[in-house]
Amino acid sequence: MDFEPWWLIFVPVLFALGWLAARFDIRQMLRETRSLPDSYFRGLNFLLNEQPDRAIDAFVEVAKLDPETTELHFALGSLFRRRGEMERAIRVHQSLLSRSDLPAAEREHAQHELAQDFLKAGMLDRAESGFEQLKDTRYALPALRSLIRIFESEHDWPRAIEAVKTLQGLVDEPVPQIVHYYCEQALTALTSKPADIDAAHKALDAADHALSTTDVSVSKGAMVRTAMLRARLALMEQDPKRERLYLESVMTDAPEYAGLVAEQLLANYRAANQVEAGLDFLQKQYQRHASLDLFNVVFRELRVQQGSAVAWAFARGALRSHPSLLGLDRLLEAELTNPEAGAGQPGAEQGPVPGADLTLLRSLIHKHTQRLDRYACRSCGFQARRFYWQCPGCNAWETYAPRRLEELE
């Protein structure tokens, strides 16, 4: 196609149209800018100058002057909640809910935010009521998860179980903590006075059923806990054979949890006058799957049943195969409790070096190992001397490895 000179007339026309459009956009922007309160710009200036507290005060003033700024209200409410200023967060979200002209979608949003405020403030009754009102809204799923957290904190296991069942109907994902809810019910029944044996059986049957429909790789800890409670129930029913069966199943199916059941299993053998067989079983278990908790049980019982020389021989071999400061700390503690533990035994290495200042040595080692003699949550890092099925720090289930920090490091 050939160029026609008269086409040049469109150039100034297009330029004029672009200039007019730019003028219109600038005027529109200026009108919108003039309509913003001065507090808005002061807030931005404070943010740029890294003065967040003064910025918040300025934005609060904006929200008061212009109640239509709902997004600013939501932003301020969330910011107050993150900063722990729960009263201010609650007031912001309540002021939104008090507006009769608030659209339904934003009203649901405000209700969800307010319920979260109550939850973080520890006002569980009001939080529960707020989340209950969201069951038929687009916030149904997060509200249900929050209700489960509330029921857990209140130890209301029946309602927690029903809520998890509802959750399973909404999302296609395993919820392994339901097994722990049944275990908590069984534990409550067993520790009540008098113990409710029938209720414990019923709860553990439900736990076994839940295990059969849950991914076992996710619920290994729940499986172990169920077996441990079955063993405890068998002990209360004076059925030592069944108790031993459940405890040994933990050793076989989940050897990493052996330290949690070793003491009870040894007591079972002792009650049957088979302590030597029990010790032999635990020693073989230690050779296959060494752990500090198992080492402690075996070493302590060997000293009682077979004497210090045998116990020291076991300890030396164990520490050579699996060096451990915690193991050495236990060894020195036993020696200081019974100074004749390693003295006078055949062979120069049967006991500690004569004349060694074991008190000072043990003191130095013990001070260092106190930090290592703990269980740790894989989720939040919360450390504790005892093993928990639910972390006291973040409330997550099965996040504690059944091994001490030294073994994990």
Q: What is the pLDDT along the chain (409 residues), one digit of tens a residue?
A: 555 555 555 455 555 555 445 444 444 443 444 444 454 445 445 444 555 555 555 555 554 545 556 777 777 778 778 888 898 888 878 877 887 877 899 899 989 999 999 999 999 999 999 999 999 899 999 999 999 999 999 999 999 999 999 998 888 877 889 999 999 999 999 999 999 999 999 999 999 999 887 665 557 899 999 999 999 999 999 999 999 999 999 999 999 999 999 999 999 999 999 999 999 999 999 999 988 899 889 988 998 888 888 888 888 888 888 877 777 777 777 666 665 544 444 443 444 444 456 666 666 666 666 677 889 999 998 999 899 999 999 999 999 999 888 777 6
Indicate the pTM of the whole model: 0.78
Could you give the C-alpha distances from 227 to 245, 254, 266, 389, in angstroms and in order? 9, 11, 16, 14
The answer for 122, left when phi > 0, alpha when psi is -120 to 50, beta otherwise, is left
Cβ proximity of 382 and 369 under 8 Å: no
Residues in binding site? 377, 380, 391, 394
Residue 257 is classified by DSSP as G
Cβ proximity of 341 and 334 under 8 Å: yes
For residue 194, whether the previous peptide bond is cis, meaning omega lies within 30 degrees of 0, is: yes
What is the model's pLDDT at position 48? Answer: 45
What is the model's pLDDT at position 355? Answer: 43
Query: Alpha-carbon distance 89 to 70, whole Å?
Result: 14
Residues in binding site for Fe cation? 377, 380, 391, 394
Could you give the C-alpha distances from 394 to 118, 287, 398, in angstroms and in order? 18, 35, 11
Q: Do β-strands 375-376 and 383-384 pair in parallel, antiparallel, or remain unpaired?
A: antiparallel
What is the model's pLDDT at position 339? Answer: 54
What is the model's pLDDT at position 274? Answer: 96
Tell me which residue of 124, 122, 128 sits closest to 144, measured CA to CA: 128
What is the model's pLDDT at position 372? Answer: 75
